[in-house]
Amino acid sequence: MNDLSLYLRTLEERLDPTALFERVVGGPCDPWQRQLLTTSSPFAMCLASRRIGKSQTTGVLAAQTVAAPGRTVLILSPTLSQSQLLFKKVLQAWHAMALPIQKTRLTQQVMELDNGSAVVCVPAGQDGESARGWGVKDGGILIYEEGAFIPDAVYDATLPIREDGGLIRLITTPGRKGGFAHSLWTENDEVEKITARSTELPRMAEKVTFDRRYMPPLQFAVEHELRWVGGGVPFFAPETIENAFTDTPELKLGDFLHA
Ligand SMILES: Nc1ncnc2c1ncn2[C@@H]1O[C@H](COP(=O)(O)OP(=O)(O)OP(=O)(O)O)[C@@H](O)[C@H]1O
Ligand SMILES: [Mg+2]
């Protein structure tokens, strides 16, 4: 295939990340994924259930973004293993595009391309030190993956990485109330908010039914129904406390005095 026919074949995917998503995943994206992949909002936050496709969507978004020249996508995850897993997803989507753009550098965290674009996938650590030195501007994206589990200090230290025209995407399951992610979700009207709840998705019905049956209710509420938790996880789940005070079935003592 020559460069022109390759360019034409990949034109749709260069323009439309949902087309790339469909080819990488083998099925259509959900409405929340479409919104996250296509929004042009400077700051979008997605609150999403476990196993719903957060990392997959991030991988496709990153790969599709760096197909255009001169863009940096910097992805911060809470741990090293999460950032490595995510980087694999980015590479998988990048290779699926099969563009005639060469890598000029490839490490376990960085892919630099000869169109001047780069993807960087690093763990947040306690201070965001590993992200230092990078800048994100003009259509590049700074992505916080599982942002509710990234320390507030990292958010404060890394937000300045975004320069003019750079975009922020924060994708997470719910975490602790009071952290920066919770404040953005509940208090900041400027942030575009995208909700991805597994209990509303037919493709996740089997998993939701299984987890509802076998998971502690509080964990199910957090991981599927998107409930934020207090500073400390309560010792007893609310349902356990409620059941302890229920009056059904009615307690019958009988006439034990005259038995
Ligand atoms: N729209 C979709 N249709 C079908 N499968 C999908 C879709 N989106 C994601 N998946 C698949 O769902 C699985 C979980 O995806 P992914 O690892 O991205 O989820 P996650 O939300 O990051 O999970 P975790 O909570 O463990 O971090 C993957 O196999 C992925 O390919
Ligand atoms: Mg994930």
Res. 173 pLDDT band, cuts 50 70 90: very high
Q: What is the pLDDT of residue 254?
A: 54
Per-residue pLDDT at 237 exceeds 90? no
Q: What is the pLDDT of residue 255?
A: 52
Cis peptide before 249 (omega within 30 of 0): yes
Closest-CA residue to 52 (of 250, 256, 200): 200
> Whole-number mean pLDDT of the chain?
90
Gap from CA of 259 to ligand 2 centroid (Å): 63
Nearest protein CA to atom 3 of ligand 1, as residue: 27
244-253: pLDDT as tens digits: 544 454 445 5
**Could you tell me if 165 and 171 are in contact, meaning their C-beta atoms sit under 8 angstroms apart?**
no
Question: Cα–Cα–Cα angle for 140, 146, 152, nearest 5°?
Answer: 85
**pTM of the predicted model, to two decimals?**
0.88
Q: What is the pLDDT of residue 239?
A: 52
Nearest protein CA to atom 25 of ligand 1, as residue: 50
Gap from CA of 165 to ligand 2 centroid (Å): 27
Q: What is the pLDDT of residue 224?
A: 98
CATH classification of 3-258 is 3.30.530.20, yes or no?
A: no
> Which ligand is closest to the CA of 46, given by its number?
1
Which residues are near ligand 2, the ion (C-beta closer than 5 Å)?
Answer: 54-55
> Which ligand is closest to the CA of 86, given by its number?
2
Check residue 145 and report its DSSP letter: E
DSSP lists the bridge partners of residue 119 as 73, 111
